[in-house]
Amino acid sequence: MSLHPVSKMIRTRVEQTNEMEHSSPLFLTSSFSFDNAEEMRAAFADENDDNIYSRFSNPSVQEFTDRMCVLEGMESGFATSSGMSAVFASILTFLKKGDHLISCNAIFGSTHTVITKILPKYGIEYTYVPVYDIASWEAAVQDNTKMIYLESPTNPGLDLIDLKEVGDLAKKHGLIYCVDNCFATPIGQLPVEFGADLVVHSATKWLDGQGRVLGGIVLGSKKLIHEIYLFCRSTGPALSPFNAWVLSRSLETLEVRMERHASNAFYLSQQLQNHPAISWLKYPFLESHPQYAIAKKQMKNGGGLFCFELKGGLDNGRKFLDNLKMLSRTANLGDTRSIASHPASTTHAKLTEEERQAVNITPGLIRISCGLEHRDDILNDILQAL
């Protein structure tokens, strides 16, 4: 019987034990034992897929990985302890001294640090291209370019990059094309349809969806993921089996949650876009988004986040956060509880004004992660805080 990907994902699970449990058990174990020396030798010689040690593989982690493969339409995956370890492994597995990476300055802060501060320490060069100018992506390709790395929608500015155009470019020049799909989730967008070789996630966000565990994953072909597996097996960013078990359960409700998060975000952005305290508001599925056509082409919904620029800059941004009565002030997103953040006074406060501008953090930028509270309660809290 052929199943819709979401049904297939929900029905993908670790093999049932003799107890006939309906829900998957949690394999909370560091290592696995063998009946005899020959079996152990064969496992270490990679002659079979037996589990050896949970830094390499674990059934609970495998269940989460298999479910994500179904959702992202990818052959294989490796789950990691956080989104950042997935980002790091996806780049460092494939790039070495003298190689070059193309990315975009509209990118998550820690990924920006990896690209601009950590990669150069290993002799890996990078070029940042402007988010809106696809022609400059091709102009940035050099003889030593190995990878294009991007996220769309971007964090926190919700800019979009045409995944197909960049995918075609990567293919033309034989580059590994890696997309961080954290903001859209596989429910909202499938990078594999546009040529992505690798898809990266912070599972900490929408995949968990309740702000409980850290996790990450990289998905791709068997060949590429085997390389990532070898890198991670020795460097050790394994996902905890407990976190994997939590994440697997979360995936079962991902589609229904994302539909509601997205419809709340769409409603709120429509209601707020012309508010006099705001100079602009961005949501991928609003016609006023500068890249609305790209959003409609590559996304199935606009996602659960929107952002706006408060008039009055830094001071009003701080005041807005202080005025909130229900929304959480916290450094996360993708939760059942709505969250407001003001990057200029928090995550990016240590940067100079110029540095903030370079990564598209304007003084009054507010990012809202829409939760699952009633949409009118979220709206009323934002309105009274404005």
Ligand X SMILES: Cc1ncc(COP(=O)(O)O)c(C=O)c1O
Which structure tokens are listed for 305?
Answer: 């986040």
- 99 vs 151, beta carbon nearer ligand X: 151
What angle in degrees, to the nearest 10, is found between the helix axes of 59-72 and 241-251?
A: 40
Apex CA 86: angle with CA 98 and CA 143, to 5°? 25
Contact string 80-109 vs ligand X (x = CB under 6 A): --xxx--x--------------------x-
The one segment of 77-85, 260-268, 320-328, 352-360 that binds ligand X by CB under 6 A: 77-85
Q: What is the smallest separation between the CB atom of 200 and ligand X, expressed in angstroms?
A: 7
The one segment of 15-23, 175-183, 304-312, 342-350 that binds ligand X by CB under 6 A: 175-183
Kind plus residue range of the DSSP H or E element containing 42? helix 37-44
Contact string 105-134 vs ligand X (x = CB under 6 A): ---x-x------------------------
Which of 99, 180, 208, 335 contacts ligand X by CB under 6 A? Answer: 180
**Biggest CA pair distance of the chain:** 74
- 14 vs 147, beta carbon nearer ligand X: 147
- As a whole number of angstroms, the distance between CA 284 and CA 293 comes to 9
**373 by DSSP, 3-state: which?**
coil
Reference 191, options 177, 212, 175; nearest CA is 177
Q: What is the smallest separation between the CB atom of 242 and ligand X, expressed in angstroms?
A: 16
Q: What is the smallest separation between the CB atom of 216 and ligand X, expressed in angstroms?
A: 5
C-alpha dihedral, 302 to 307 to 308 to 310, nearest 10°: 160
The one segment of 79-87, 157-165, 243-251, 292-300 that binds ligand X by CB under 6 A: 79-87
Reference 385, options 283, 278, 282, 267; nearest CA is 278
Angstrom distances, CA of residue 56 to CA of 25, 83, 158, 226: 19, 18, 35, 11
Find the binding residues for ligand X in span 183-202 (CB under 6 A): 183, 202
End-to-end CA distance of the chain: 53
- As a whole number of angstroms, the distance between CA 118 and CA 198 comes to 21
214 touching ligand X, by CB under 6 A: yes
Find the binding residues for ligand X in span 134-153 (CB under 6 A): 151
| Cβ atoms 205, 182 nearer than 8 A | yes
- As a whole number of angstroms, the distance between CA 150 and CA 163 comes to 9
Q: What is the smallest separation between the CB atom of 202 and ligand X, expressed in angstroms?
A: 3
Q: What is the smallest separation between the CB atom of 181 and ligand X, expressed in angstroms?
A: 9
Which of 62, 155, 250, 291 contacts ligand X by CB under 6 A? Answer: 155
347 touching ligand X, by CB under 6 A: no
Q: Which residues pair with 126 in a beta bridge?
A: 101
- 183 vs 306, beta carbon nearer ligand X: 183
Find the binding residues for ligand X in span 224-263 (CB under 6 A): none
Which of 70, 176, 182, 218 contacts ligand X by CB under 6 A? Answer: 182
Q: What is the smallest separation between the CB atom of 331 and ligand X, expressed in angstroms?
A: 8
Question: What is the secondary structure of 126-157 as a DSSP string?
Answer: EEEE-TT-HHHHHHT--TTEEEEEEESS-TTT
**382 by DSSP, 3-state: which?**
helix
Q: What is the smallest separation between the CB atom of 154 and ligand X, expressed in angstroms?
A: 8
- As a whole number of angstroms, the distance between CA 145 and CA 81 comes to 28
Residue nearest to ligand X (CB): 83
The one segment of 4-12, 21-29, 177-185, 273-281 that binds ligand X by CB under 6 A: 177-185
Which of 59, 186, 188, 216 contacts ligand X by CB under 6 A? Answer: 216
Contacting residues toward ligand X, per CB under 6 A: 82-84, 87, 108, 110, 151, 155, 180, 182-183, 202, 204, 214, 216
